[in-house]
């Protein structure tokens, strides 16, 4: 009796990174009372049903049922690559193939060819190499975040006949901005699963110095202390600074210190000053025009405090003056009313004496009237 199509087992191809674990799964719909079996590329039986056939502790049973046989192989090596067979012993015997691909992990790349003490505008060539990849890896170059276009990756088979060694080189001209830059060689391979595997070579570039003059304080005034800092930059850094003033013949200063000091500024110090910064790569001269301004003392915090106190006192004095003016006006008005009453009876008097007598008489008369009515 011929076996039906339902007794045909099926499986799938697998890809695993060297050192990892792969699971081989074989299934069948109709087992017809037969067991499934796994065998390796050398046709050695690994498992027959749930029974181990090969003594290899890396190979373990995952699941065994009449419809499925799954096994795992741990710590996979390149030698484990090949075609594995799942069989079911029906009439006839039916099989399914699983191709196991083992990826060789590329080694960390190695950069060679760097020569120290590169000079500005020199051209340099660096080489990069990585072994152990399977399939062959690809190499890329970059300088910082900038991509460098190197030669195409060269591929060479390793002595084991399974993995490959890849190499590449890049040539570029260096500038002063490249001093301290990292030249990075990266290896790209599917076994890395996006992980970065790269090597960096930091380069040093020698270049001529530059300089600029910075005043401290920024706006100098007569009578102040002033420092002119000559800030030199270069590789190597400038070791000598020479100060000059236009119109003066001898140099003002020659020393390792880069600052020119004015303990007490005068108007006569105004002028154009030059600083020459020198290293064994060359020299650079920077200029600064000094204009000494008139002294203008900046109010101190104590002066501000005194000004506030003075303002408060002036306001209080102003309020007192206003109060005195109103008080005087009030007193004057009340005094005028008293004099008016005292001068009653003076309207018909021919002279002052008569007015006084009339006023006195009027008062006594009033008193008499008051007595009379009482």
- Check if the beta carbon of residue 138 is closer than 8 Å to that of residue 189: yes
Print burial letters for 153-192: b (CB count within 10 Å at least 16), e (below 16): beeeeeeeebbbbbbbbbebebeeebbebebbbbbbbebb
What's the rounded Cα separation, in Å, for the pair 74 and 80?
10
The mean pLDDT value of the chain amounts to: 86
What's the rounded Cα separation, in Å, for the pair 1 and 205?
84
pLDDT higher for 333 or 158?
Answer: 158
pTM, two decimal places: 0.66
Model confidence at 301, in pLDDT bands (50, 70, 90)?
Answer: low
Print burial letters for 200-238: b (CB count within 10 Å at least 16), e (below 16): eeebebbbbbebebebeeeebeeeeebebbbebebbeeb
Phi and psi for 140 in degrees, rounded to 5? Answer: -130, 155
Distances 160 to 15, 132, 134, 156 between C-alpha atoms, Å: 20, 10, 11, 12
What's the rounded Cα separation, in Å, for the pair 78 and 161?
11
H-helix or E-strand spanning residue 70: strand 68-73
Distances 158 to 136, 185, 197 between C-alpha atoms, Å: 10, 21, 20
Is residue 70 scored above 70 in pLDDT?
yes
Is residue 343 scored above 50 in pLDDT?
no
What's the rounded Cα separation, in Å, for the pair 258 and 276?
10
What's the rounded Cα separation, in Å, for the pair 355 and 169?
134
Is residue 372 scored above 70 in pLDDT?
no
Two structure tokens written together for 223: 């009578």
Is residue 276 scored above 60 in pLDDT?
yes
pLDDT recorded at residue 121: 94
pLDDT recorded at residue 256: 59
Most confident of 2-16, 170-184, 290-304: 170-184
136: phi > 0 → left, psi -120 to 50 → alpha, else beta; which?
Answer: beta
Is residue 310 scored above 60 in pLDDT?
yes
Beta strand 253-255 with 205-216: parallel, antiparallel or unpaired?
A: unpaired
pLDDT > 90 in the chain, percent: 68
């Amino acid at each position: 009796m011929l076996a039906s199509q339902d007794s045909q087992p099926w499986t799938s191809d697998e890809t695993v990174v060297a050192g990892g674990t792969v699971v081989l799964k074989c299934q069948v719909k109709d087992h017809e009372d037969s067991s499934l079996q796994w065998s390796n590329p050398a046709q050695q039986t690994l498992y027959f049903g749930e029974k181990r056939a090969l003594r290899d502790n890396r190979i373990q049973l995952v699941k065994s049922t009449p419809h499925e046989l799954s096994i795992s192989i741990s710590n996979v090596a390149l030698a484990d690559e090949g075609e594995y067979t799942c069989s079911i012993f029906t009439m006839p015997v039916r099989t399914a193939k699983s191709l196991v691909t083992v990826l060789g992990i590329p080694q960390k790349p190695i950069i060679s060819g760097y020569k120290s003490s590169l000079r500005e505008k020199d051209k340099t060539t660096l080489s990069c190499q990585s072994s152990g990849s399977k399939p062959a890896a690809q190499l890329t170059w970059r300088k910082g975040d900038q991509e460098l276009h190197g030669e195409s990756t060269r591929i060479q088979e390793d002595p084991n006949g399974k993995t490959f060694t890849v190499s590449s080189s890049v040539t570029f001209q260096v500038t002063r901005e490249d001093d301290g830059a990292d030249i990075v060689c990266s290896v790209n391979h599917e076994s890395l699963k996006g992980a970065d595997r790269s090597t960096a070579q930091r380069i040093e570039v020698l270049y001529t110095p530059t300089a600029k003059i910075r005043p401290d304080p920024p706006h100098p005034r007569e009578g102040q202390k002033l420092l002119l800092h000559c800030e030199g930059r270069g590789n190597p850094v400038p070791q000598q600074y020479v100060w000059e003033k236009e119109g003066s013949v001898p140099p003002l200063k020659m020393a390792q210190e880069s600052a020119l000091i004015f303990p007490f500024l005068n108007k006569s110090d105004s002028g154009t000053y030059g600083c020459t910064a020198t290293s064994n790569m060359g020299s650079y001269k920077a200029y600064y025009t000094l204009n000494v301004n008139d002294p203008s003392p900046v109010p101190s915090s104590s002066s501000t405090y005194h000004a506030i106190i003075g303002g408060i006192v002036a306001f209080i004095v102003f309020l007192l003056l206003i109060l005195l003016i109103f008080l005087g006006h009030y007193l004057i008005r009340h005094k005028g009313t008293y004099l008016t009453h005292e001068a009653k009876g003076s309207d018909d008097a021919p002279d002052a004496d008569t007015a006084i007598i009339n006023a006195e008489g009027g008062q006594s008369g009033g008193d008499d009237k008051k007595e009379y009515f009482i």
